[in-house]
Amino acid sequence: MAGKLRITWKKSAIGYREDQKRTIVALGLRRLGHTVEQSDSRPVRGMVHKVRHLVEVTEVPEN
């Protein structure tokens, strides 16, 4: 796990639990369709796993 993850918010969090909404914010996502890059680490992978139904994730290889 030494690269980066490109995380895109694809589905609205309306109707989902509050902790999932807070996880979206903690990942740095601000609006639907927003994309951020986070370091590939166990805590980030755990957050992505929690909201995997709301986001799209791609691995960005480290150059």
SS (H, E, C) 1-63: CCCEEEEEECCCCCCCCHHHHHHHHHCCCCCCCCEEEEECCHHHHHHHHHCCCCEEEEEECCC
Per-residue model confidence (pLDDT) at position 59? 94
Predicted TM-score (pTM) of this structure: 0.91
Per-residue pLDDT reduced to its tens digit, 28-49: 999 999 999 999 999 999 999 9
Per-residue model confidence (pLDDT) at position 26? 97
What is the C-alpha separation between 39 and 6, in angstroms, rounded?
9
